[in-house]
């Protein structure tokens, strides 16, 4: 009898657990499964409620991307793209934000390349959105970090430009 009650209680617990709403998915995602994903991403322009980012044409999209790598990097060139109506469009890389080495911080203190393996860095992304960019909703924006021709980091967000 006690085993039946215990099994019944356990079954009810799992039914309740499955029925609970799942936590909101982050507004960002890794680009693919072969690269180490960021540890976390924070942005005043993005919402974990809607899972999208909202930016103004002629404005700047800002994000803090927390990354750590098992290797050292001597160069972290930034490339950013947006897909507008299925067409991949490169976003302008404006100095000093065209080089991720200029935007690395540890504990709020600016660092530069080469990076130290297994140290968590905050990469402060500041991506200008040209005023001539057409308004669009729910398009993928991709941020990439390249070290001497090798893709070392990549993340995507869903963005709406107004």
**Domain holding 71: CATH number?**
2.60.40.770
Domain count, the chain: 1
Residue at 12 is within a domain: no
Give the burial class of 76: count Cβ atoms within 10 A of its Cβ; 0-12 exposed, 13-18 middle, 19 or more buried.
buried
Full residue range of the structural domain in which residue 54 is found = 25-161
Per-residue confidence (pLDDT) for residue 67, from 0 to 100: 95
In a domain, 86, yes or no: yes
Q: Is 96 left (phi over 0), alpha (psi -120 to 50) or beta?
A: alpha
The answer to the question of residue 97 being in a domain is: yes
Residue 9 lies inside a defined structural domain of this protein: no
The set of residues, in sequence order, having a beta carbon less than 8 Å from that of 154 and lying 6+ positions away, is 30, 31, 32, 35, 142, 143, 144, 145
pLDDT number for residue 25: 52
Domain membership flag for residue 13: no
- CB count, 10 Å around CB of 64? 16
Residue-level pLDDT, tens digit, the chain, 162 residues: 544 433 333 333 323 223 333 334 589 999 988 888 999 999 999 999 999 999 999 999 999 999 998 899 999 999 999 998 889 999 998 899 999 999 999 999 999 999 999 999 999 999 999 999 889 999 999 999 999 999 999 999 999 999
53 lies in a domain?
yes
pTM of the model: 0.80
Contacts of 125 (CB under 8 A, 6+ apart): 61, 62, 63, 64, 65, 78, 97, 103, 143
Residue 14 inside a domain? The answer is no
Instruction: State the pLDDT at residue 33.
Output: 80
Q: Is residue 73 part of a domain?
A: yes
The CA-CA-CA angle for residues 139, 142, 144, to 5°, reads 175
User: Residue 147 in contact with residue 131, Cβ under 8 Å?
Assistant: no
């Amino acid at each position: 009898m006690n085993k039946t009650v215990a099994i019944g209680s356990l079954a009810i617990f799992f039914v309740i657990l499955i029925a609970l709403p799942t936590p909101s998915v982050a507004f960002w995602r890794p680009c693919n499964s072969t690269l180490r994903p960021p540890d976390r991403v924070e942005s005043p322009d993005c919402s974990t409620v809607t899972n999208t980012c909202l930016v103004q044409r002629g404005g700047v999209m800002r994000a803090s991307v927390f990354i750590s790598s098992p290797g050292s990097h001597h160069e972290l060139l930034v490339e950013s793209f947006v897909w507008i109506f299925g067409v991949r469009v490169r976003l302008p890389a404006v100095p000093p934000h065209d080089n991720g080495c200029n935007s690395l911080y540890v504990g709020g203190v600016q660092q530069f390349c080469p990076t130290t393996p297994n140290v968590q860095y905050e990469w402060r992304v500041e991506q200008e959105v040209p005023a001539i960019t057409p308004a669009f909703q729910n398009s993928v924006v991709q941020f990439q970090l390249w070290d001497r021709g090798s893709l070392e980091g990549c993340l995507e967000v869903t963005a709406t430009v107004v």
